[in-house]
Structure 1
Amino acid sequence: MAPKLFGTDMNQGVRAVLLTAKALDLEIDLVEVNVYVKDYIDEELQKINPEHTIPTLVDGDFSSWDTHAILSYLAEKYGSDDNLYPTEPEKKNQIDQMLYFESDTLRPRVNGIIQAIVVENEKEIPTEKISAITESYRLLDGFLENKNFLTGDNLTVADLCCLATVSTATVITPISTEKYPNLSQWYRTCKNFGYYEETNGCGLNKLDALVELKLGRPRTEELCE
């Protein structure tokens, strides 16, 4: 039986899991949970995960509800090799470091804006919040200097996790090719994955449309680089 994933593909954490599962050639059963409705409660999810957060993975009798823990679990359990999440301590540390960057720096900056627009119905995005996202772009561009992927020449769960969140950030402000050439090249490379559109592009497009609907107008150049 395929593992169940509770969430919506508009959520970047859910898309990170879908990207990783597809990279592992693993089928995932997505159970739709719409957390972008204020005060929404899914009783089945709450029984599994008292925090009522997404993504939540159920694999047989096992459950997990942290994106990064889910990604490493799937890679270790279902990977035919350890390429996506190596066991060698130094390489594993580099990947974990990028996962923590996504969790502690990149994601809160992106989620703060998305949550304010989609759930709280705010109509304006403060300039400082846009600047925080572009500062994350600058950091990622530096991490990618002389590299194809975030930790070297090989794709890992760190790339898939950051891909889902960076693509979400582009809903707010695009990536400047001139200012962030390394990040732009990495993003183009990832978007060319054969499974990108199915696992990330479709949900991202739905989120993009929802943001424009909530703003009551198309996103304008003033919000962008």
Structure 2
Amino acid sequence: MKSARMLPVLVLAWALALGNILTVGIAVHAESPAAAGSLAAPESFGSISNPDQRSAAFFTELGKVLTHPRCTNCHPATDRPRQGDLRRLHEPPVSRGPDGFGLATMQCSSCHQETNFDPGRMPGHPLWHLAPAEMAWEGKTISQICAQIKDPKRNGGRSLADLIEHIGSDTLVGWAWAPGFGRQPAPGTQKEAGALVEAWVKTGAACP
């Protein structure tokens, strides 16, 4: 009889526990980067009257892309790239090589083909390779990346105008927004990122 009286209490406790689990799951999903939505448009920063501060704000918003795993994995601090949303070291072990396309014994193209191979979770692009060592920004702050990306000696010899084209139109950069199965895309869209770079350059390319 006592166990029969306890049954409704146990059922209620189980229901409350399940509700808490579901609530936590919903909260985690809502706060995940994937649910964060698009990048802010340049015009949304119009309330910042100081030009330098507004320019720096554009780059800070762009930093959501530049510090995302889709970018930092290919701009590593060492000669070994990283993989996945958890930024784990590349397996099998590979090295940058003299031109960023890997070593003679293990070229990037040995595994990475012209397009994503989603059944195998293998990313792909015709020019798949690592960014040059001087363009490494894994682990750096937004301010440090900003100073680096403006410096032709550390950005692949690009002018500020070139950066607009590179980030806004380059198809290898664009892979970050279409990374295939099992990988989270970079925030927003490539077009939105390009608009932020253009606004940043036109307002003096100030750093945060």
Global fold match (TM > 0.5): no
Q: Computing the radius of gyration over CA atoms, which structure comes out larger, 1 or 2?
A: 2
TM, length-normalised to structure 1: 0.29
